[in-house]
Structure 1
Amino acid sequence: MTTSEQKSRTVLSLGSNLGDRLDNLQEGIDALFDAPGLDFIAISPVYETKPVGGPEQDDFLNVVIVADSSVAPQSLLERVLNIEESMDRVRDVHWGPRTLDIDIVTVNDVTSDAPELVLPHPRAHERAFVLVPWADVDPDALLPGRGRVADLLPAVAGQELRRRDDLSLQPPA
């Protein structure tokens, strides 16, 4: 848990595969930083990815955000869930299509096995759409309990992922 004076390096992964995917990501980013407690550090390039698991569905646009947070992880989770709900996120089908998905990947070296918030994210090390953009913005990043993100990349090299340099997102105002 953090106090208002402490900042925790926080990594968030955002994805969208319904509606205007790029606009959904931008709205999610803006909403994350509208409330106090998150200080923007970096945003990755946009990637287009095939869905992992779940039913057949459209491709995702994905980005990774790095921020310094003075918000407790549980409070950050509440913020994330409220943003997803405000953007009509539907949770009817496990790993189904979504307007916006925001995952808390890491909060410093905090570990948690709480059912509502497992930290670090339990599948981050298996997902190219998390690791590749994260490595773009923080080449020396560490995934607690798994090691250097750069060292995890070969294990996900076979996953379909395409950098979309024709698309970009704006840092929060």
Structure 2
Amino acid sequence: MKQALSRFIYHRLLGWKAVVGVPDFKKCIFCAAPHTTNWDLFIGKLFINAIGRKSGFLMKKEWFFFPLGGWFRSMGGIPVYRDKHTSMVDQLIARVKESDEFHLAITPEGTRSANPNWKRGFYYIALGAQIPIVLVGVDYERKCITAERYLIPTGDVENDMREIKQYFKNFKGKHPERFDVGDC
């Protein structure tokens, strides 16, 4: 029922397309970009539900206030406490290892503004947990979300990040001026 409703809203009402060519991994990180608007969360959740998969997501703790906090948690939201000096990466690696299934969507820019210095936490989670990173491109111009490529982290962070950024450079966010892959 949830998948059928998500398909109807995503495809019929909103007119978006989905192109998926990656395996349905039991455990993975979804690296989703560009992230230029709050609407990306809702479009992304509709996409993931429409294709019959599941995923949690990270979001700054400031959004987890009553009544939204409970709603975001029920959708798979995990609050990020950026002011505390705890290792979210280590906590998530442990969570991956103790789970039979684990899917987490992360936007590497870490903001909805142009930022050529992408966060690398998603990479280190995948590397530490030895799981693939599925590259999910959001293109508002074509109204299409694409997941046709994945990467197994090699440990060569600079080279792998360059490859990831190269993949995303042609996707157009809702506000293209807010997306920057930097020099790749």
When you count helix as a share of all residues, which structure comes out higher? Answer: 2
TM normalised by structure 1 equals 0.29
When you count strand as a share of all residues, which structure comes out higher? Answer: 1
TM normalised by structure 2 equals 0.28
Structure with higher Rg: it is 2
